[in-house]
Structure 1
Amino acid sequence: MLKRLFGSSKGDSGSSGGGGGGGASRGPSATSTIKTVEQMQGTLANLEKRERLLQKKAQMEVQKAKEYTRSKNKSAALACLKRKKMYEQQANNLANNQLRIHEQMILLENTKATTETVDALRAGASQMTAMQKATNIDDVDKVMDEINEATDMQRAVQDALGTPVGMAADLDEDDLLNELEELEAEDLDDQMMAGVSAPTPSEKMAGAAAAEAAPAMPSVPTTAPAAPATATDEDAELAALEAEMAL
């Protein structure tokens, strides 16, 4: 039908068919899709022009039929109405063809959008696969083993630094604790003895009164104890020994 209506479009349709075949052989692309849409839009514009022309011819046949009716030429009026019906039928066919082209354009646009979506998903999947290959589970396990090994080594170093060495390692903490308890017990005993021997204030006052009431006794010279001197000598010897040890 389109070939009968558009004699000059035969070459165009042949060339477009050849172009379509070449596009199919090359595979779909953005450029070929755009060209196809442009071609369909051009065809649609031609069909719309042809439809308007047929509608105008149908209206002209109606006017002619009215004129023949007024002139009582019934056969000519019927011929005009027949031609009007033919023009209207062709216009309806062109309208249906336009509808098919519109549907095809919508399907093509949807297909293009679907293709672009699939391409995007394929690119994302490829990138994800490449990233997974770059960081596979074996590499992750190896890295974690290295981290654990370094952590254990650092912990061992810290433990080694915290372990006492030399003379401090030979000391027994239990013996030191026992010695500390003995010192605390001796200090407690000294404090208790000092509390018993020390006179209370009332005892001091009673002793002073008794001393005043007692007769005076001749003073007897006594010799001072040598303990303080001995203590002083021991302190001097200890200081000298510490000085020698410091050197």
Structure 2
Amino acid sequence: MEALARMFGAKKGEPPTPQMAIQKLRETEEMLNKKSEFLEKKIDQENALIKKHGLKNKRGALNALKRKKRLEKQLQQIDGTLSTIEFQRESLENAQTNTEVLKNMSYAAKALKAAHANLDVDDVHDMMDDIEEQNVIAQEISDALSTPFGMNQELDDDELLAELEEMEQAELDEQLLDTNTPVNLELPTIPDVPNSTIKSKEKDDESDLRELAEWLN
């Protein structure tokens, strides 16, 4: 374990930090990728030799094929190692992210606790009650200042109507008692009805009576 810590650059007795481990893993990935590229070129060269020898030089072709198989096996091992390193690096990066998030959340929690250290819920409620009381007083003062002089008491509509009726009745009584006020006693004029219209109406009535008598018989 100590050898592993020294490999990642940590001091003796101290575990490597995630940043140091991630950096080392990236360097290892870069080295393996370069080696993988080198092996791929070597495999291409062996393929070319196999095609060149063919059936003309079976031994040369066979040796080239054996080297190619060994190179392909190394390349396969490197690919597996790269997958393992990539998975480990991603795990470390996620752990580092989670650590940073938790650190910041803890920092914010401490700041929130410090902000509430000098606050008390009862004091806040008392302060809000005082604010509400002062708002009510301010509204009453504003209403008092905005009311014109002589209008401090609200007038009742029923009282006003009663007073108006008394005034109208008094005016009527005054007109009746005033002898100088002529009283209009003229009757409406009845329009004259022509005699011809009356006679025609009487004839119609007699005709209706005769028709009714005949129907009854």
The alpha-carbon distance between structure 1 residues 62 and 159, as it changes in their structure 2 partners (threshold 3 A), is closer
* Corresponding residue of 2:15: 25
Task: Give the TM-score, by structure 1 length.
Answer: 0.46
Deviation at 1:83, TM superposition (A): 3.0
**CA distance, structure 2, for counterparts of residue 45 and residue 157 of structure 1:** 81
**CA distance, structure 2, for counterparts of residue 114 and residue 85 of structure 1:** 43
**CA distance, structure 1, for counterparts of residue 103 and residue 5 of structure 2:** 32
**1:52 matches 2:41:** yes
**CA distance, structure 1, for counterparts of residue 169 and residue 131 of structure 2:** 56
Deviation track 1:141-192 (CA, whole Å, cap 9, x = no partner) reads 53232021232244357669989xxxxxxxxxxxxxxxx9x98898677545
**CA distance, structure 2, for counterparts of residue 63 and residue 125 of structure 1:** 66
Matching of residues 1-247 of structure 1 within 5 Å: 18-20=6-8, 22=10, 25-29=15-19, 32-53=21-42, 56-57=45-46, 59-60=48-49, 63=52, 66-68=55-57, 77=59, 80=60, 83-130=63-110, 132-133=112-113, 134-135=115-116, 139-155=120-136, 191=171, 193-199=173-179, 200-201=181-182
Task: Give ranges in structure 1 of 5+ residues lacking alignment.
Answer: 1-14, 70-76, 164-179, 204-247
**Equivalent residue letter for 1:42:** M
The alpha-carbon distance between structure 1 residues 141 and 121, as it changes in their structure 2 partners (threshold 3 A), is farther
Give the paired residue count.
165
Task: Give the TM-score, by structure 2 length.
Answer: 0.51
Deviation track 1:55-99 (CA, whole Å, cap 9, x = no partner) reads 535754675574456xxxxxxx3xx45533431331122121221
**CA distance, structure 2, for counterparts of residue 65 and residue 156 of structure 1:** 108
Contact 2:29 2:85 in 1 (8 A): yes
Structure with the greater alpha carbon radius of gyration = 1
Contact 2:54 2:61 in 1 (8 A): yes
Higher relative contact order (CA 8 A, sep 6+): 2
**CA distance, structure 1, for counterparts of residue 174 and residue 104 of structure 2:** 92
Greater helix fraction, Structure 1 or Structure 2? 1
Contact 2:46 2:67 in 1 (8 A): yes
Deviation at 1:136, TM superposition (A): 7.2
**Equivalent residue letter for 1:28:** P
Contact 2:18 2:93 in 1 (8 A): no
Contact 1:58 1:87 in 2 (8 A): no
* Corresponding residue of 1:237: none
Deviation track 1:32-53 (CA, whole Å, cap 9, x = no partner) reads 5234313321233124314533
The alpha-carbon distance between structure 1 residues 59 and 196, as it changes in their structure 2 partners (threshold 3 A), is closer
**CA distance, structure 1, for counterparts of residue 183 and residue 39 of structure 2:** 143
The alpha-carbon distance between structure 1 residues 16 and 154, as it changes in their structure 2 partners (threshold 3 A), is closer
Contact 1:44 1:101 in 2 (8 A): no
Deviation track 1:89-123 (CA, whole Å, cap 9, x = no partner) reads 31122121221233134314532542354145324
